[in-house]
Amino acid sequence: MWWTPSERGILELDEFHCGKTLKKAQRKLKPTVTVNTAFNQVIEACRDQRMAAEGTWITNAMLSAYQQAHIQGIAHSVEIWHEEKLVGGLYGIMQSGVFCGESMFHTVPNTSKMAMWALVNWLKAHKASFIDCQLENPYLTSLGLKVIPRPEFLTRLKLAGQFQVPSSMWQPQELKAIYE
């Protein structure tokens, strides 16, 4: 099943808004940031947090499909750690030069935003195009999300399709100096 709304929420990498509160929280927490080191933990935490809040679309079948996509190198996660405990993160699908965000979670305030901030900087460093956030919501709008019409979105996807993902980009690793 594929949803294609008439308007699409995207985050331009150069338009990410990092507010004072987020910067202060990052300096105070001094988290460790990793990619693809705890994909299963991240998606399960996203499912659990959504289920507790309003129910979840991450069914067991979806969970299995994303886990398989991760094994195949298509689905990826960004993890935020504090004192060796997973406290925030996000996951999604990387298609050419576009990261299609699926869900995020936090157990410590601002850590899902820290994951998005780290993702933005990681994608910028690898010359990616933008983040597809799918739908607009106040949380993502506060980070710089903008809404574009479907035809523009499809054109942007086509242009991003020329991007080649470096093989080392999504190898499990700690990201150093990602917030500088």
Strands 75-82 and 85-95: antiparallel
pLDDT tier for residue 39 given thresholds of 50, 70 and 90: very high
CATH number at residue 91: 3.40.630.70
pLDDT digits (tens, 9 = 90+) for 111-163: 999 999 999 999 999 999 999 998 888 989 999 999 999 999 999 999 888 77
Please state the domain count of the chain: 1
| For residues 42-54, average pLDDT | 79
Any domain includes 116: yes
Q: What is the average per-residue pLDDT within 19-26?
A: 94
Domain-located, residue 69:
yes
Question: Residue for token digits 């901030």?
Answer: 117
In a domain, 1, yes or no: no
Range of the domain at 95: 7-175
pTM of model > 0.85: yes
Q: Does 52 have pLDDT greater than 80?
A: no
Position 2 in a domain: no
> In this predicted structure, which of 23-32, 42-51, 158-167 has the lowest mean pLDDT?
158-167
Q: Can you give the pLDDT at residue 59?
A: 83
- What's the pLDDT score for residue 65? 94
Using the structure block, give the residue that is written with the tokens 């298509």: 74
- pLDDT at residue 82, as a whole number: 97
Instruction: Check residue 153 and give its pLDDT.
Output: 94
The answer to the question of residue 67 being in a domain is yes
Tell me whether residue 171 is in a domain. yes
In a domain, 94, yes or no: yes
Give a yes or no: residue 180 inside a domain.
no
Report residue 114: phi and psi, to 5°.
-65, -40
Q: What are the distances in angstroms from CA 152 to CA 35, 138, 158, 179?
A: 30, 22, 10, 30
In eight-state DSSP terms, residue 38 is: S
Q: What Rg, from alpha-carbon coordinates, does the chain have?
A: 15
pLDDT, the chain, mean: 90
Residue 176 pLDDT > 90? no
